[in-house]
Chains A and B, each alone.
Chain A
Amino acid sequence: MNERWEKTRWLLPLVILVLGLGLSLLVRFATRQNPVLYLRADLATLILLAGVVLTILGYAAMWINSQFKQQRQRLTSQATVDRMRFIRRLDHELKNPLTAIRAGLANISEALDANSRDQALLTVEAQALRLSRLAADLRKLAELETRPLEQASIDVTTLLQEAFDLARESANEHKFFLNIPQAPWPLPKISGDPDLLFLALHNLLENAVKFTSPGDTVEIRAFEDGNTVVIEVADTGLGIPEQELSHVWEELYRGHDARGIPGSGLGLALVRAVIERHGGWVSLRSRVGQGSVFTLRLPVG
């Protein structure tokens, strides 16, 4: 019943219009000898027309509203899907260290010699630390949404240079290149939290080193593009398959080839959260076997 009404209600103003116009023509014909009545009939026709227009406008408003409602529903169901996926991944991240801890504890209680007990203690300690790191990273992500953002004026050139130096110290078998324009003018300043932006850059560089081998190249470059500063971190590493590209910024996502590589699975999600908190956005290009380019765009000012 309701559905049929949805489909046919558009006919209602049309029916009113046709009946009304017909009626008004009839009345006009009948009153053509009396000018006063004739004018009144004209007025009635106008009011009728206005009524029809209003009805149509009302329908249009209802239609737009229902579109919005559908949009909202789509968004909510997307949020539900995201949340479920996050819970599944978290479950997975917790399972492994917990299994290792339980096995380690069983070994400790049944250990026959000091050596095997020490070995098990080391495992338990390492896995407990892994869980602590996961908790710390989760807290950072949660706090990023709410903590007040410092608005300092930041010299991008210095920031990049410092992040670059730190990365080069930690991985001396990689080839590092830094490419920042100096002419005709240096990069413009951006405003934000220098510690958070440094963390984002550091995570990207750490990631680049993690997914490349000794001898590979990691390149940082930056340039000005309209009202944004574009920062790219490029590497000649494993590359990311196309079907994984849209997922790598998600919390706790692990690519197929990344399973054996340690990490909390939150590094890139933190990068994205930091950049978006600064009004910027992130993107990624990659080719399997050739490498990847992670791009950050930050508004100037």
Chain B
Amino acid sequence: MQRSRILLVDDETAITANLAPFLERAGFEVAVASDGEQALHQVAEFVPDLVVMDVLMPHLDGRETLRRLRQQDNWTPIILLTQVGEAVERAMALEEGADDYLNKPFDPHELVARIRAVLRRTRPGQPTLASAERLNSGLLKLERRSRRAWLEGKELALTPKAMALLEYMMTHPDELVSRERLLEAVWGWDYPIGTRAVDTRIAELRRILSDDAEFPVYIETIPGQGYRFIGQVEPAS
């Protein structure tokens, strides 16, 4: 099997110098860029299967680089490394079509797990669900920009947290998502007490979606591990 090619973009050489060999040992072929401009150049030259990119960089920051790539119809999956982990920044990462994100400081093993998960669900050259404005799953519709959702044509009353949770689950379908991962991605905080917060919100979401936990159509519980969105998700225009 051919090794997947990863482009690692960060202006902090202490990070790239240690992460690159780590990713290579994990079985990837790695190239490094130190800012957005170099990254755009490398995307064209090295043609990576996935880009791991820091947000805060000199010259061209990660967010702008991502925007430019998408404008060029380049759908290479991107994992953003955020520095501040503010809720706003994460929501923007989703809106602009980042496929996943990790808060610094992170465990490098977690990065490898994220890379593998994103690579598994992307089809080369195709826009990913992460960059779709509207998502459909059966009778469930989600409009991401306006943050509204409908079930059988009826609009759902979701709290902002429940909406963010649904959005994350729907953009990562058929993927086992741990509670810790949901906390980091949706809450942005690594609560020491997280499981309870996640379980409460999933229960809220299920109630609103009339999804039976025993026989789920949308969100399945994987005992002791986390949750999985089992509905078929399609991007809609």
Write the residues of chain A forming the contact surface with B, with a CB cutoff of 8 angstroms: 131-132, 135-136, 139-140, 143, 146-148, 150, 152, 162, 166, 194-195, 198-199, 202, 206
Contact = CB atoms under 8 A, between A and B. Distances in A.
A252 B191 CA distance: 19
B196 A166 contact: yes
Given A143-B86, A148-B160, A194-B197, 7 more contacts: A136-B189, A143-B87, A143-B188, A150-B159, A152-B159, A166-B193, A194-B200
A195 B187 contact: yes
A147 B190 contact: no
- Chain B residues touching A, range: 10 to 19
Q: Which of A132, A135, A139, A152 has the most CB of B within 10 A?
A: A139
B189 A140 contact: yes
Interface in B57-110: 84-87, 105
Contact of A147 (B86, B105, B196): B86
Given A166-B196, A195-B197, A139 B191 contact: no
A144 to B, nearest CB: 10
B74 to A, nearest CB: 32
B87 A135 contact: no
B85 A139 contact: yes
Nearest to A133: B190
B192 interface: yes
A202 B192 contact: yes
Contacts of B197: 194-195, 198
B41 interface: no
B159 A202 contact: no
Given A135-B105, A152-B159, A162-B196, A199 B87 contact: no
27 contacts: A139-B84, A139-B85, A143-B85, A143-B86, A143-B188, A143-B189, A146-B86, A147-B86, A148-B87, A148-B160, A150-B159, A150-B160, A152-B159, A162-B196, A166-B193, A166-B196, A194-B197, A194-B200, A195-B191, A195-B197, A198-B193, A198-B196, A199-B191, A199-B193, A202-B192, A202-B193, A206-B192
Contact of A150 (B85, B105, B161, B193): B161
